[in-house]
Amino acid sequence: MTENLDLNFKKIGYLACMLVKTFGYAVQGISATKVTVEVSVATGINFYLVGLPDSAVKESQQRIDTALKQHGYKIPGKQITVNMAPADIRKEGSAYDLTIAVGILAASEQILSDTIADYVIMGELALDGEIRPIKGALPIAIQAKKEGFKGVILPEINSGEAAVVDGLEVLYANNIKQVIDFFNNGEALPKAKIDLNTAFLNQIENIEFDFSDVKGQENIKRALEIAAAGGHNAILIGPPGAGKTMLSKRLPSILPPLTINEALETTKIHSVAGKTGKGGKGLVTQRPFRSPHHTISDVALVGGGNNPQPGEISLAHNGVLFLDELPEFKRTVLEVMRQPLEDRVVNISRAKFSVDYPASFMLIASMNPCPCGYYNHPEKECVCAPGIVQKYLNKISGPLLDRIDLHIEVTPVPFSELSKQTTTEPSKNIRNRVIAARLIQSERFSEDENVHCNAQMRTKDLKTYCELNETGNALLKNAMERLGLSARAYDRILKVARTIADLDNSKSIETNHIAEAIQYRSLDRDGWAG
């Protein structure tokens, strides 16, 4: 009799305190940390949510309660304790709604399945049970595979980017009822698949802006080809309507296609920022082109905030950051770019943690030569007062200008060129030459992890790869003296000359390569900003 009473008490105790674990991930920077959601259902009446949740996570109780009632389920009227471990990492956002909901259903025996722990389950719940998209699906999927999970269950919109991870079962659902039926009745959830070969093929074929649309401006096209071939930063200086913005928008069309590793890294950043998933595209297969307005703040450009998010320079990683009307940007905004331009990474530090975002981008800027826009114009007269032009150009600091290799003067296209019916060279042909030059650079820097193109060469690399013959050296010396070029122009000229030589498939830098590189340093000459 006593043994039967002890057994009954043990059964009552077990039912009175049921513990279930489900799994999600917290995204920090472009990496993810596993979050174990422990749900305990015991006797009593209360709901506790612990483990350093923010307001959005705390509000999940109301969303979960209403969503479950819509489908005939409910949060039991008992004491429910939800712990999100590790408890010292702040949990932010609504992405844990589905993780917590499944945990509560399992702990209250409304879901009877022993496979819940095999899956990472994440998604935001609407009041009708619809599963809404989350941020960071790709880093979550990558880490889930590393940590041995069988698969992930995500909103349909996020499934495309997670499907990039080979060897991980990516399931998606549109509402919580589908997830419940999957665990209770074994009803299959649809699997996400992505064909990487097709995705990258479409990248090359679907080009919105092509250089074949541009009439005239052959010298500007040549300068942008050099910039693309060597990864050089460039600034276009010219009057309004000369075509600076139009030409800049076409630069991505001549850049080499993204490699799979570049695409994954770029997608990670866009995933964390919530910029992917629309239309189920998943992987970012085209080089980014970001063009922020000149009213942008420091934090919006480099990233940050209470919950640090990537800024425009990180969203432009492996692509182009275009700053139109450069002098109109606040000086503090421009100055915060100096370190990322050099180090190609942004470090955002807070009291308890710090995150790193990659920021390897090409900076392309444009500006008028003066406030009225017509300084040095061949036809229209500049109306700016004396000294105003120099003051306008001096808005761009020397250290920032030091990081821009090509200064390209853009002149208006004459009517005779605009009225021609002939088509010009398409982007495809230019891109082939750029790819060939990049392959030469890949072989040249194959043993250096920190240098991938000519623009990234350091002083010691210049001595190794940019040796000049006597004629070239004399030409450069003469140009420095006669044109009043600044000392900072010297290294830039050598880097650009090396790229021009690569485009010509020349092992050595010839005199004509130096001569062409010199003409791209107009802002260093006396009378400009130098």
Say how far apart CA 482 and CA 521 lie, in whole Å.
Answer: 13
Highest mean pLDDT among 160-164, 212-216, 282-286: 160-164
Does the pLDDT at position 77 exceed 50?
yes
Mind listing the pLDDT tens digit for each residue in 373-385?
887 777 788 888 8
The percentage of residues in the chain with a pLDDT greater than 70, rounded to a whole number, is 90
pLDDT confidence band for 353 (50 / 70 / 90): confident
Mind listing the pLDDT tens digit for each residue in 410-453?
888 776 666 676 778 888 999 999 999 999 999 999 888 888 89
Mean of pLDDT values over 177-191: 94
The percentage of residues in the chain with a pLDDT greater than 90, rounded to a whole number, is 51
Say how far apart CA 354 and CA 356 lie, in whole Å.
Answer: 7
**What pLDDT shows up at residue 14?**
40
- Residue 214: name the closest of 409, 426, 430 by CA: 426
The one-letter amino acid at 96 = Y
Yes or no: say if 132 and 123 are a contact pair by the CB < 8 Å rule: yes
Say how far apart CA 281 and CA 164 lie, in whole Å.
Answer: 11
* Antiparallel, parallel or unpaired: β 320-323 and 362-367: parallel
Domain that holds residue 48: 10-185
Strand-pair partners of 209: none
Beta strands in 43-193 (DSSP E): 46-50, 79-85, 119-121, 124-125, 131-132, 151-155, 169-173
Rounding to the nearest 10 degrees, give the CA dihedral for residues 69, 172, 309, 344. 170
**What pLDDT shows up at residue 491?**
87
Question: Looking at the domain assignment, is residue 48 inside a domain?
Answer: yes
Q: Tell me how long the chain is.
A: 530
pLDDT confidence band for 51 (50 / 70 / 90): very high
Does the pLDDT at position 201 exceed 70?
no
**What pLDDT shows up at residue 280?**
47
Mean of pLDDT values over 324-351: 87
pLDDT confidence band for 291 (50 / 70 / 90): very high
**What pLDDT shows up at residue 482?**
85
Question: Looking at the domain assignment, is residue 80 inside a domain?
Answer: yes
pLDDT confidence band for 528 (50 / 70 / 90): very low
Cis peptide before 399 (omega within 30 of 0): no
Yes or no: say if 368 and 382 are a contact pair by the CB < 8 Å rule: no
* Antiparallel, parallel or unpaired: β 79-85 and 31-42: antiparallel
**What pLDDT shows up at residue 225?**
95
**What pLDDT shows up at residue 113?**
86
pLDDT confidence band for 525 (50 / 70 / 90): low
Residue with tokens 């949990």: 91
Say how far apart CA 398 and CA 42 lie, in whole Å.
Answer: 67
Number of domains in the chain: 1
Question: Looking at the domain assignment, is residue 63 inside a domain?
Answer: yes
Say how far apart CA 81 and CA 23 lie, in whole Å.
Answer: 16
Mind listing the pLDDT tens digit for each residue in 1-26?
444 444 443 333 444 468 999 999 99
Rounding to the nearest 10 degrees, give the CA dihedral for residues 170, 173, 179, 181. -110
Question: Looking at the domain assignment, is residue 111 inside a domain?
Answer: yes
Mean of pLDDT values over 185-194: 90
Full-model pTM: 0.86
**What pLDDT shows up at residue 115?**
92
The CATH code of the domain that includes 33 is 3.30.230.10
Mean of pLDDT values over 350-361: 84
Read off the tokens for 404.
């821009």
- Average pLDDT across the chain, whole number: 87
The one-letter amino acid at 300 = A
Mind listing the pLDDT tens digit for each residue in 228-267?
999 999 999 988 888 889 999 999 999 998 888 888 899 9
Question: Looking at the domain assignment, is residue 50 inside a domain?
Answer: yes
Which phi and psi angles does 161 have, rounded to 5°?
-70, -35
Read off the tokens for 283.
């992987």
Mind listing the pLDDT tens digit for each residue in 448-490?
888 889 999 988 888 889 989 899 999 999 988 888 777 778 8
Cα first-last separation, the chain: 99
Say how far apart CA 520 and CA 356 lie, in whole Å.
Answer: 34
Mind listing the pLDDT tens digit for each residue in 103-153?
999 999 999 888 999 999 999 999 999 999 999 999 999 999 999 999 999
**What pLDDT shows up at residue 8?**
43
Read off the tokens for 196.
């990487």
Q: State the helix-helix crossing angle for 97-107 and 176-185, rounded to 10 degrees.
A: 40
pLDDT confidence band for 160 (50 / 70 / 90): confident
